[in-house]
């Protein structure tokens, strides 16, 4: 019987690349995104790769919409084996004291509350069915401090705590929870951020020992490995994938 995954932020970037990689392994997928266009594009790519997929539109900062995507996945596929808890936004890139309160609330709502709500409802299904695997998306800004992304960094540090603490509570129930911490990666979100803040791209690339940005496909390969049984004894880890960026900090 085919495995089943939920991928949030699945309409582009890391989510889309991971959905395609999972589909290549025969995994059926619920694609969750606020963008109907991007979500349906990923559904088509998953089906082209030979797996089944549905699109569920959701604002992950709203608990009722998170519960809905979990319930609809179970209705469509019967269970949830894998969860890539990935939806997130970066913010405007301004210094913290210049940041509007509404922007702070939006970043926290999507990046942190959205992740908390996701594991709340997904883990409930997984444990009931004997276990499952979750990968949360943190960031290089979740393992070191970085300027111009204070709120974003705070949420991504929160993802690290979420990952480790869930394992402390529920590993005994068959739950595996890991996190990836990508450095600057060629996703639409990062490209838009750097277009608005070109000096930061120059600084970031110059600070990466490999002298290039990562690709969504490289991150997807790591996420897929962590989600599947190939990584069955890896639990509670936060794995950096950043070309050595945070290793030099």
Model confidence over 82-102: pLDDT tens digits?
999 999 999 998 999 999 999
Query: What's the CA gap between 201 and 57, in Å, rounded?
Result: 31
Which letter does DSSP use for residue 176 in this model? E
What are the start-end ranges of the E strands in 163-232? 175-182
- The reply to whether the predicted model has a pTM over 0.85 is yes
Tokens of 19: 């959905």
Tokens of 40: 């349906």
Q: Where are the domains of the chain?
A: 4-185+216-238
Which one of the listed residues 152, 170, 194, 233 is annotated catalytic?
152
152 in catalytic set = yes
The alpha carbon of 105 is separated from its chain's Cα centroid by a whole number of angstroms, namely 19
Residue 203 pLDDT grade (very low, low, confident, very high; cuts 50, 70, 90):
low
| Percent of the chain clearing pLDDT 90 (strictly above) | 83
Q: Are 226 and 135 in contact (CB under 8 A)?
A: yes
By three-state DSSP, how is residue 133 classified? strand
Query: Of the candidates 143, 125, 146, which has an alpha carbon nearest to the alpha carbon of residue 134?
Result: 125
Query: What's the CA gap between 70 and 85, in Å, rounded?
Result: 12
What local confidence, expressed as pLDDT, does residue 201 receive? 66
51 membership: H or E segment, kind and range: none
Residue whose entry in the numeric block shows the structure tokens 């900062």: 61
Q: φ, ψ for residue 71 (rounded to 5)?
A: -60, -40
What local confidence, expressed as pLDDT, does residue 82 receive? 98
What local confidence, expressed as pLDDT, does residue 189 receive? 75
Q: φ, ψ for residue 106 (rounded to 5)?
A: -65, -45
Domain 4-185+216-238 listed as CATH 3.30.2310.20: no
């Amino acid at each position: 019987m085919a495995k089943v995954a939920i991928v949030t932020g699945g309409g582009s970037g890391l989510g889309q690349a991971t959905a395609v990689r999972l589909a290549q392994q025969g995994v059926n997928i619920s694609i969750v995104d606020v963008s109907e266009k991007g979500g349906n594009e990923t559904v088509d790519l998953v089906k082209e790769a030979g797996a089944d997929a549905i699109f569920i539109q959701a604002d992950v900062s709203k608990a009722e919409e998170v519960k809905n995507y979990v319930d609809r996945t179970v209705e469509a596929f019967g269970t949830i084996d894998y969860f890539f808890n990935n939806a997130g936004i970066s913010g405007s890139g301004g210094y913290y004291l210049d940041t509007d309160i509404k922007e702070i609330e939006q970043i926290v709502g999507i990046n942190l509350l959205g992740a908390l709500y996701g594991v709340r409802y997904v883990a409930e299904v997984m444990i009931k069915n004997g276990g499952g695997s979750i990968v949360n998306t943190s960031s290089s800004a979740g393992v070191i401090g970085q300027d111009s992304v204070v709120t974003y960094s705070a949420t991504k540090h929160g993802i690290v705590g979420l990952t480790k603490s869930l394992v402390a509570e529920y590993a005994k129930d068959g739950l595996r929870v890991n996190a990836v911490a990508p450095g600057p990666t060629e996703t639409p979100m990062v490209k838009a951020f750097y277009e608005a803040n070109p000096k930061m791209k120059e600084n970031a690339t110059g600070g990466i020992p490999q002298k290039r940005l990562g690709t969504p496909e490289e991150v997807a390969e790591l996420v897929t490995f962590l989600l599947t049984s190939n990584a069955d004894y890896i639990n509670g880890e936060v794995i950096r994938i950043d070309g050595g960026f945070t290793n030099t900090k």
